[in-house]
Amino acid sequence: MHKLLVTLTLSILFGFSASHANPPMQPFYASVMKMAPEGKLGQVIAKEQIATSVKGAQARRIAYISSDVMGKKTISTGLVVAPVGPAPKEGRSIMAWSHGTTGAAQNCGPSQILNPAVPLNEYFLVGGNSWTDYGIPSVEEFIKDGHVVVATDYQGQGGGGIHQYAVAATQSRDLINSVRAASSMQETGAGKKAVAYGWSQGGGSVLAAASLPDYISQAGTAADGIGFVGFVALAPYDMAASLPKGKIDQATADKILGQLQSSFSTDILSFAHFSMALYGTQSAYSNLKLTDILTDEGAKVIQAIYSNKCVHAAADTIVFAYGKEFTKLLKPKPTNTLAWIQAFIQSSVAPVNPVAPVVIYWGTKDTTQPPIQGKLYQVQKCQTGANVNRVQLPGAQSHFTTPGTAGPLYREWIKDRLAGKPATNNCAEAAQLPS
């Protein structure tokens, strides 16, 4: 009888007995979700002009062709903001923004906000005015300087399919293809030169994009010949940087996954990110199942929540349904752990030197994304001759104050890269840098 009541309660809370339906979508995205992901990488398959308060700018929502970590074609959506008026002969440089965590449902793309083509507006900060982070850091300054700005949502955030949250190897391809999309649009006046910048989840995608030379240079796309002159990572993550190198055996995989479960179960928001990463990663790899790590009930709950809600609402739902007992959704002993750890590694930054200089900005009070991952990334890449600089932000900066505080610094760094000046780094001191 107790089991029947639990099942009935869960069915009411999460709609297990009903067929799944995507959350309500604006007409632009509803129409895009009906399209097939067919075409060249970066090919714009839908666009609509929207209003923007950025002076001297024009803005559009776009949908374009991308691909995931396994090479499967996908559709991603996003924004393109460009100066009005004629472009220089060589075309405008492209600033490609990669956003932080917003969620895994179809309505979690930042471009879907009613007025998305604005400076970054953060949910957690006092001045935040929405249920999610949206907007584009430094968009006003970049438009004033004559650049085109493209801000991708990621696959599964308005273009159909399941968002592969925390699969940086997929989000990095969305980032690269957003540059191709912007470059291919006559309305933007964009050229081929680009800089990638991103924060948190987007910071990880920036690092991953920097190590995809073959993907960047491949031919037969909507805009062949794009070239990145720099990569800016704000409080980035790199799962592979903190995992053992070389072949991982079963015992090691069991230990690593156990440690991950423990470290991400200390509070509800950490668990929300972890469980969403499980949801996103298993959608990318056919040999993974949510029930490898979650209980049967947990898998149903996570599936129901993340297919319909963005990250903060998802966390609230878990609290409402389970309170402090949310860890009961996890199996005491996960299975298929070796495949999961291998997937985490494949999803991360490839063991390839970046194609252009990288700079990482981090704050001493960042408890959301451990700065140690950025440090390990730098140490490992510097050891193989890469140009990676790592900059501690002034004052006591948290994860959420990082984008605003870093803005003046990375804008100057970008100007130097566009001017062709050599990039300096602190690789020599990397091993002694504070974490």
| 143 falls within a domain | yes
Q: Alpha helices, DSSP H only, in 285-401? A: 296-306, 311-322, 337-346, 372-383
| 63 falls within a domain | yes
Three-class SS state of 348: coil
Q: Does residue 310 sit in the same domain as residue 264?
A: yes
Report the C-alpha gap between 101 and 52 in whole angstroms: 23
Report the C-alpha gap between 145 and 125 in whole angstroms: 27
Q: Does residue 42 sit in the same domain as residue 102?
A: yes
Task: State the Rg of the chain over Cα.
Answer: 21
CA geometry: angle 231, 234, 239, nearest 5 deg: 90
Locate 203 and state its tokens.
């910071």
Quick one: 394 exposed, middle or buried, by C-beta within 10 A (0-12, 13-18, 19+)? exposed
| 22 falls within a domain | no
Domain limit, last residue, from 345, 361, 392: 345
Q: Does residue 403 sit in the same domain as residue 286?
A: no
Q: Does residue 98 sit in the same domain as residue 49?
A: yes
Write the secondary structure of 77-94 as one string of H (helix), E (strand) and C (coil): EEEEEEECCCCCCCCEEE
Place of tokens 């190590």: 211
Domain limit, last residue, from 330, 345, 360: 345
How many structural domains comprise the chain? 2
Q: Which segments within 84-143 are labelled E, that is strand? A: 92-98
| 15 falls within a domain | no
| 113 falls within a domain | yes
Parallel, antiparallel, or unpaired for β 190-199 and 148-152? unpaired
Q: Does residue 216 sit in the same domain as residue 132?
A: yes
| 1 falls within a domain | no
Report the C-alpha gap between 245 and 345 in whole angstroms: 10
Q: Does residue 45 sit in the same domain as residue 189?
A: yes
- Say what the pLDDT of residue 426 is: 96
DSSP letters along 156-220, please? Answer: TSSSSS---TT-HHHHHHHHHHHHHHHHH-TTTTEEEEEEEEEETHHHHHHHHHHT-HHHHH-SS
Are 84 and 134 in contact by the 8 Å Cβ rule? The answer is: no
- Say what the pLDDT of residue 433 is: 53
Select from 200, 218, 245 the least CA-distant residue to 367: 200
Q: Does residue 382 sit in the same domain as residue 341?
A: no
**CATH, residue 73:** 3.40.50.1820
Q: Does residue 43 sit in the same domain as residue 179?
A: yes
Select from 316, 379, 82 the least CA-distant residue to 308: 316
Q: Does residue 319 sit in the same domain as residue 268?
A: yes
Three-class SS state of 264: coil
Residue 150: strand pairing partners = 80, 96
Contacts of 182 (CB under 8 A, 6+ apart): 80, 82, 94, 96, 148, 150, 188, 190
Quick one: 142 exposed, middle or buried, by C-beta within 10 A (0-12, 13-18, 19+)? buried
| 307 falls within a domain | yes
Are 209 and 176 in contact by the 8 Å Cβ rule? The answer is: yes
Full pLDDT tens readout for the chain, 435 residues? 344 334 444 544 555 443 455 789 999 999 999 999 999 999 999 999 999 999 999 999 999 999 999 999 999 999 999 999 999 999 999 999 999 999 999 999 999 999 999 999 999 899 999 999 999 999 999 999 999 999 999 999 999 999 999 999 999 999 999 999 999 999 999 999 999 999 999 999 999 999 999 999 999 999 999 999 999 999 999 999 989 888 999 999 999 999 999 999 999 999 999 999 999 999 999 999 999 999 999 999 999 999 999 999 999 999 999 999 999 999 999 999 999 999 999 999 999 999 999 999 999 999 999 899 999 999 999 999 999 999 999 999 999 999 999 999 999 999 999 999 999 999 998 876 555
Quick one: 119 exposed, middle or buried, by C-beta within 10 A (0-12, 13-18, 19+)? middle
Q: Does residue 330 sit in the same domain as residue 401?
A: no
Are 418 and 195 in contact by the 8 Å Cβ rule? The answer is: yes
Domain limit, last residue, from 314, 345, 376: 345
Q: Does residue 160 sit in the same domain as residue 58?
A: yes
Report the C-alpha gap between 227 and 193 in whole angstroms: 5
| 268 falls within a domain | yes
Q: Which domain holds residue 75?
A: 27-238+351-432
Q: Does residue 226 sit in the same domain as residue 261?
A: no
